[in-house]
Amino acid sequence: MMADSKPRLRPVIAIDGPAGAGKSTLAAYLARRFGFLNLETGAMYRAFALKALQNSAPLDDEAELMELAGSTRIVLQPQQREGNRVLLDGTDVTRRIRDKDVAEAASRVSVHGRVRAWMVGLQRALGAEGGVVMEGRDIGTKVFPDAEVKIFLDAEDVVRSQRRFFQNVASAEASASVGPSQAEVLAGMRERDARDRERASSPLHPARDAVHLDSSSLTLEEVCSQAEALVRSKIAGG
């Protein structure tokens, strides 16, 4: 049960799954279609990981990380078009948190139970009134186990790493830099997947009542339209 069991006025749509499955795109689409706020919880772990890197905090020291958490303020600002603007202690870190060192650090800070408990509290407060599409790894299992709609979006790791690789190529072209190779992206993704799935605290797994969508051989349009139909079927009058 939720700690705060006040009834919500509007639904929560939970989208979970591994990196590169298309969660962010799907979440942004559903948020637009239903007029909901789109909240990327991975960005919160990334912002905290950046804070840890900036402060040279050991990523495996839970007590030290929690001390740092006490002086950390993370704000997610849902945007009209896609994604969230992310503020860390008042500074815009939206771009910086997408870098490889931050992704790696986020995967490491998110294994700690107390870090997760802190994040879950923030996330429940953000979604307390409903009317949100929240995406992450544990939304349907832990953050909002009573979410009205739960989607577990998956895809084969080779497909997910290809998508990430092409996203990286596009952003590297924009910044005239050189990104990691396709094999490096796949290796990094497998390592983070394993950490997400095998950690003791809230490992990545589908909620019992989640609807599975596999995007390996679907187009983006197909994923979005299947998910939209599902949401309409679950939310009366949606």
Q: Contacts with ligand DC: how many residues (CB under 6 A)?
A: 14
Question: Among 22, 42, 78, 179, which residue sits at the site for ligand DC (rule: CB under 6 A)?
Answer: 42
How many CA atoms lie less than 13 Å away from 198 in the CB half-sphere? Answer: 7
Does residue 138 bind ligand DC (CB under 6 A)? Answer: yes
Stretch that binds ligand DC, among 31-39, 41-49, 53-61, 182-190 (CB under 6 A): 41-49
- CB count in 10 Å sphere of residue 200: 8
205 vs 232 by CB, closer to ligand DC: 205
Q: Which long-range contacts (CB under 8 A, 24 or more apart) does 48-51 make?
A: 48/72, 48/74, 48/106, 48/109, 48/115, 48/119, 49/97, 49/102, 49/105, 49/106, 49/108, 49/109, 49/110, 50/88, 50/93, 50/96, 50/97, 50/102, 50/105, 51/88, 51/89
Site string for ligand DC, 89-108 (x = CB under 6 A): -----------------xx-
Stretch that binds ligand DC, among 40-48, 51-59, 74-82, 215-223 (CB under 6 A): 40-48
Site string for ligand DC, 185-204 (x = CB under 6 A): -------x---x--------
Strand 84-88, strand 37-40: pairing: unpaired
8 vs 192 by CB, closer to ligand DC: 192
Contacts to ligand DC by CB under 6 A: 19, 41-43, 45-46, 106-107, 110, 136-138, 192, 196
